[in-house]
A and B are shown apart, each in its own frame.
Chain A
Amino acid sequence: MIASSLKEKLIFLTPILLITVILYIMIATSIYVSMSDWRSYKISLNFIGLRNYIELFSNPRFYAALRNNIIWIALFMVPTSFLGLVLAYIMVSTGKELIFRTVFLLPTAISMTVAGTLWVWMYASEGAVNTLLKAFNLSFLTKPWISDPSTALYALIFVTIWQYLGFAVIIFEAAIKGIDPSLIEAAQIDGASSLRIFWDIVVPQVRHGFLVAVPLLALSALKIFDIVYVATRGGPGLATDVLGYFMWETAFWSRFMADGAAIATIIFAISLGIVIPYALIALRRWFR
């Protein structure tokens, strides 16, 4: 049965091949454009080597954006995946999955542009967040969240955590449900507390959940664009500037397509740094 006919193999491989070929043609084109002199509305593909990259690396804005991306990945990925796991565990162990899932998935279902607009209102100096803080006698915590360059980035990162939490919950819900129930039952009979079960059984058993969630979340943070565009355009100053927004502004607003492609290529290279280790681990599990 496994030895299926050549015809069957072709049928199933053709779409994959087509998608892969188109994808790689596009990536290759982008990389080529990044080494060209295309800097206006007019398409120009004269090869100029790595000059665009050298210029990019001498631009302080590149490092500002890169730094923000790295902070974004770190501060977004860790809490989102960990909170996702905790919530998924509470959800499964209390049996209230439907309600929880609906509540946590709602933000994920909202588009980032809508969420960004909503949160800018809520973060406003006289917006919902500060009003709530005052109502709970926490006036000392009120801040001009988006206007203050020292908090703006973290305010936006929080929105992405809020948005992607439901996604993490779903992944970990599936992972937790994959745990052999007899393990947990045995622990319960031995008198282990819920916390103990969580740390010693659930966390080690949902490793594959992390394997799925962590790279996907890291990639989402790496290519973040929409919320920055809607909420701050990278401001105040360059406080919330990220590579994705820098790329868009360079390619489409300044019409420096080659320089934009260079930024895109760098984003792509960083994403390979996330995806390759993940792929290696996944493949090793696959062929074990």
Chain B
Amino acid sequence: MSLRKAAVKTSTIIIIALVLIIIAAIAGYYAGAAVAPAPPTTPPPKPQLIIYHWWTAGGEKEAIDAVFSVFKEANPEIEIVENPVAGGAGAVMKAVIWGLLASGTPPDTFQVHAGGELKEYVDAGYLDVVDSVWDELGLEDVIPGTLQAMCKFEGHYYAVPINVHRSNVLWYNPKIFDELGIVDKFGDPRTWDLDKFIEVARYIKENKPDVAPIAMASRNKWPLTHLFEVLLVLRGGPEVYAKFWTGMFDYKDPADPVWAAVKDVLKALAIMAKEGLFNANHPELTWDQAAALVYQGKAAMYVHGDWVAGYFMSVEAKYGEEWSAAPFPKAVFILLSDSFNMPKNAPHPDAVTAWLKAVGSSEGQEKFNLIKGSIPARVDVAPAYPDPYRPETADDFKKSTLVPSAVHGGISKEAFVTEMHNIVTSLATSAATGADIDTLVDASITQIMQAIDRTGLPDFWKGYTIDYFITKR
């Protein structure tokens, strides 16, 4: 009995103590807030730069470390507090950042795709203007119009781009191409149109049935939408492409010319799925596994972004023998770009300004992109590329017509792109099981119309025109 009583007594004391501590803490907090902050008794902490990014894979990490070293050289007193959040294209990091921004405790800077993805943060009022960094570095003179537009909303810049990737590239296996005489027969892939692309795929299927004409990986869905994006430029040109992804056309009218191009591209995808022009196991592969099929000679072609070059080099596949690349089409450059920004109420604004200057500097851009496998956002920086692919891309970046990528956060709204992933993969899946292509395509068009409505795509870009996104050359 007495033991039990003692136990109760002890627990009562503990609880009372805990309650007192909590009350004291709360009282202390409010007292501290009400009264002027107590003078610091310790010397001010070392200035920091709290940065979030998703570059954790091999190659990526080294690339961002190179920019850190450029930053450190100019700002040795600032400590970099890195918060890498693994997960392709920031799938996980976006949720983390959202929580920080919404709760009013933003980091100093974070990685974001320039374009629509960046605009979502701007619209929510989370970001500060960084016009002064653009002015000071003279970036308007060295960054092409489309990429400027992707960082600029309502007349102000909100981010500094660090790199450029190209989304429309045809990767192919040169041995298979030579063996079948593809280039002699069908011409340079740089000039193919949509019909020719399908024709070539069918020809490969006929003559080399054990090789998949087009490599595909739809386990994460987006590579199929990526193909759709590239084929839409191929079929409709940059204007139709921009109209479609921004919803700036009469989308409720099925007779609008944009729908004709979209219809052709959807039809092409359905044909590819139905006629087995993709590798049959595409729903179980990720983008790098599909790229592997090309250099291993199991697939002939692959339409994907130029991070594939980085992948081929990392597995030491031989250029000219195991892989080769052609801009597809050459005349248009679909670009995506990673950028850094300054959130409102960033804890160390001076450090962020210094960081953005490092990001936009020639040295930072050169060092980062050499390792990352991308090209600089600044056209005045020309690193000595060790690979055969990038010089042509860098040259096209100056000479081809530019449009932002939709699948990679540039020109569209992510909610709509997400719906497109499901619509396009559903179309391919149903086509592969033998359903009628015309019926499927019509159903997809209806779904896309509903998705444009549901996601509020046209409102997202209210006040902009398609010319804003296109650098015509």
Main secondary structure of the interface of A (DSSP, over half): loop
Chain B residue total in the interface (Cβ 8 A): 40
Residues of chain B from 418 to 459 with CB closer than 8 A to chain A in the complex: 418-419, 422, 425-430, 433, 454-456
CB distance A144 to B219 under 8 Å?
no
Across the two chains, which residue of chain A brings its CB closest to B101? A41
Whether a CB of chain B sits under 8 angstroms from the CB of A282 is no
Whether a CB of chain B sits under 8 angstroms from the CB of A147 is yes
How far, in angstroms, from A149 to B284 measured CA to CA in the complex?
11
Give the Cβ gap from A67 to chain B, nearest Cβ, in Å.
14
Residues of chain A from 244 to 261 with CB closer than 8 A to chain B in the complex: 249, 252-256
* Residue with the highest number of chain A CB atoms closer than 10 Å, among B220, B422, B428: B422
Tell whether A125 pairs with B15 under 8 Å between CB atoms, given A41-B126, A235-B425: no
How far, in angstroms, from A125 to B298 measured CA to CA in the complex?
14
Whether a CB of chain A sits under 8 angstroms from the CB of B3 is no
Across the two chains, which residue of chain B brings its CB closest to A55? B454
CB distance A236 to B429 under 8 Å?
yes
CB distance B102 to A43 under 8 Å?
yes
Interface string of B4-22 (1 = CB under 8 A from A): 0000100110010000000
How far, in angstroms, from A170 to B311 measured CA to CA in the complex?
46
CB distance A249 to B418 under 8 Å?
yes
| Residues on the B chain within 8 Å of A7, using CB | 8, 12
Main secondary structure of the interface of B (DSSP, over half): helix
Across the two chains, which residue of chain A brings its CB closest to B220? A233
| Residues on the B chain within 8 Å of A123, using CB | 284
CB distance B123 to A235 under 8 Å?
no
Give the Cβ gap from A231 to chain B, nearest Cβ, in Å.
8
Residues of chain B from 241 to 292 with CB closer than 8 A to chain A in the complex: 280-284
Residues of chain A from 13 to 32 with CB closer than 8 A to chain B in the complex: 14
Which of B102, B422, B454, B455 is in CB contact (< 8 Å) with A234?
Answer: B422
Give the Cβ gap from B366 to chain A, nearest Cβ, in Å.
33
CB distance B281 to A125 under 8 Å?
yes
Interface string of A127-167 (1 = CB under 8 A from B): 00000000000000000101101101000000000000000
| Residues on the A chain within 8 Å of B8, using CB | 5, 7-8, 11
Give the Cβ gap from B46 to chain A, nearest Cβ, in Å.
31
Whether a CB of chain A sits under 8 angstroms from the CB of B315 is no
Whether a CB of chain A sits under 8 angstroms from the CB of B28 is no
Count A-B contacts at CB 8 Å. 101
| Residues on the B chain within 8 Å of A93, using CB | none
Across the two chains, which residue of chain B brings its CB closest to A123? B284
Which of A5, A120, A253, A255 is in CB contact (< 8 Å) with B284?
Answer: A120
How far, in angstroms, from A59 to B423 measured CA to CA in the complex?
12
Across the two chains, which residue of chain A brings its CB closest to B416? A254
How far, in angstroms, from A112 to B456 measured CA to CA in the complex?
35
CB distance A144 to B123 under 8 Å?
no
CB distance A124 to B283 under 8 Å?
no
Which of A14, A61, A233 is in CB contact (< 8 Å) with B221?
Answer: A233
| Residues on the B chain within 8 Å of A239, using CB | 429
Whether a CB of chain A sits under 8 angstroms from the CB of B307 is no
Whether a CB of chain A sits under 8 angstroms from the CB of B95 is yes
Which of A147, A152, A231, A253 is in CB contact (< 8 Å) with B418?
Answer: A253
Whether a CB of chain B sits under 8 angstroms from the CB of A101 is no
Give the Cβ gap from A59 to chain B, nearest Cβ, in Å.
8
CB distance B414 to A144 under 8 Å?
no
CB distance A147 to B284 under 8 Å?
yes
Chain B residues within 8 Å of A, Cβ to Cβ: 8, 11-12, 15, 91, 94-95, 98, 101-102, 120-121, 123-126, 218-221, 280-284, 414-415, 418-419, 422, 425-430, 433, 454-456
A-B contact pairs, 11 of them (CB 8 A): A8-B8, A43-B102, A120-B284, A149-B429, A149-B433, A233-B221, A239-B429, A249-B418, A252-B95, A252-B98, A256-B415
Q: A43-B102, A252-B98 are in contact. List 10 more A-B contacts (CB 8 A).
A: A40-B124, A124-B281, A146-B284, A147-B282, A149-B433, A152-B283, A233-B220, A235-B221, A235-B425, A235-B429
